[in-house]
Structure 1
Amino acid sequence: MHLIQEASRKGRVDAFVQSTDKNFLVPVGGAIIGSFDKNLLDRISKMYPGRASASSIMDVMITLLSLGMAGYKQLITQRKEMYSYLKEELGKLAARHDERLLDTKGNPISMGMTLQCLSHQHDNKQVTMLGFMLFLRNVSGTRVITTTETKHIVSYKFEGM
C-alpha cells in the first residue's frame, strides 16, 4: 500500500485491483477495486451493478476478524520472510541450470527467472509446458512468458510476451 500511495503522490494512479484470494486469504476469488478518486470509483461501481456478490465481502470480513490485527501483521512478516527464502532458493536453482534470477528493484512481491534451457531454437513448447505443469500442481500466481509471442492490448503492441 505504501508503494501505491507513493505512486499516487508522485504521479498518477487511477485505480488498483486487489485479488481477495491472494491478498486476503479467502477461499474463492473476488476483487477489491480501490482509487484515490472517489468520483472514478463511483463511476466504476455503476458499471457493475448487481454483479458483485456479497459472499466475497463476507469471506474477507470473516478472515480479517478471525486473524485480528496481530494475526494479520504476523502474516505480513511471514510473507516477507518467505519471500527472502524463496528468492534465495530460486537463485540457487537458477544457478544450477545456468539461468538468472531477474532483479526486480522496487517490486517486493514478484520475481522472475530466465528459462533459456527450455527455449531451444525458439520452440516454446517446453516453456509453455512448464507453465501447464505448475498450473496442474496448483501453483498460483506464476506466469510463464515466451519470447516469440506478440500481444496487442488496445493500441499497444507487446513483443516477446
Structure 2
Amino acid sequence: IAAVGKVYAGRASSSPVVDLFITLLSMGMDGYKRLLKDRSELRVDFQTRLANVASKYGERTLECPNNTVSFGVTLDHLVNQGTRSNDDDDEAAYLQSVSKQVSYFGAMLFNRCVSGTRVVPRGQSKVMSGQEFVGFGSS
C-alpha cells in the first residue's frame, strides 16, 4: 500500500476526508469561521508575494477573479525560447517542443509527490464527442 501511495499521492484514500472531519470537529463552528476569515486575509498577501516571485523569473500570475481558491503562474520562460521563424511548420514544431518540456515539468512535480499542482501546456487540445477541450492532458 505504501508503494502505491507514493505513485498515487493523495488519490484513492479516505485519509484526507477523515483528517478533515476530525479537524472540523475539533475546531468547532467559531474556529472554522475564524479559519475562513484568516484565509481571506492571507490570500491577498500570498497573491502579492507569488506575483513578485513570478516577476523575478519573467513570469506573471494569472488573474482569475471568480476563483478564490486556485492560483496560476505562466511558464513561458521555463523552456529555451531559441530562435523561431515565421514559418507555420516551424511554429507548430516549436509549440510541440515547448508542450513536451512543460509537460515534463509537470511530471517532475508529480514524481516528487508535489500535490495540488496542475501544469497545462499551451496549444494542446483534444476533441471528444465533437467538443474541443483546450489544455486537455495537463499533468
1:39-85 CA distances to partner (integer Å, 9 max, x unpaired)?
A: xxxxxxxxxxxxxxxxx5x6554332111112212222232234223
Report the RMSD for the aligned CA atoms in angstroms.
2.8
* CA distance in 1 between partners of 2:131 and 2:121 (Å): 18
Q: In structure 1, list runs of 5 or more residues that go unmatched.
A: 1-20, 30-55
* CA distance in 1 between partners of 2:69 and 2:43 (Å): 7
* CA distance in 1 between partners of 2:120 and 2:128 (Å): 16
Q: Tell me how far 1:145 sits from its aligned partner.
A: 0.4
Q: Tell me how far 1:104 sits from its aligned partner.
A: 0.8
Q: Tell me how far 1:95 sits from its aligned partner.
A: 1.0
Q: Tell me how far 1:126 sits from its aligned partner.
A: 2.7
* CA distance in 1 between partners of 2:40 and 2:67 (Å): 12
Q: 1:73 corresponds to which residue?
A: 33
Q: 2:101 corresponds to which residue?
A: 126
Q: 1:98 corresponds to which residue?
A: 58
Q: 1:86 corresponds to which residue?
A: 46
**Superposition pairs of residues 1-161 of structure 1, within 5 angstroms:** 28-29=15-16, 56=17, 60-119=20-79, 120=81, 121-122=94-95, 123=97, 124-161=99-136
TM-score, normalised on structure 1? 0.55
* CA distance in 1 between partners of 2:47 and 2:64 (Å): 11
Q: Tell me how far 1:147 sits from its aligned partner.
A: 1.3
Closer, same or farther: CA 154–80 of 1 in aligned 2, 3 Å: farther
* CA distance in 1 between partners of 2:71 and 2:115 (Å): 14
Instruction: Give 3-state SS (helix, strand or coil) of 1:151's partner.
Output: strand
Identity %: 38
Instruction: Give 3-state SS (helix, strand or coil) of 1:77's partner.
Output: helix
State the one-letter code of the partner of 1:89: R
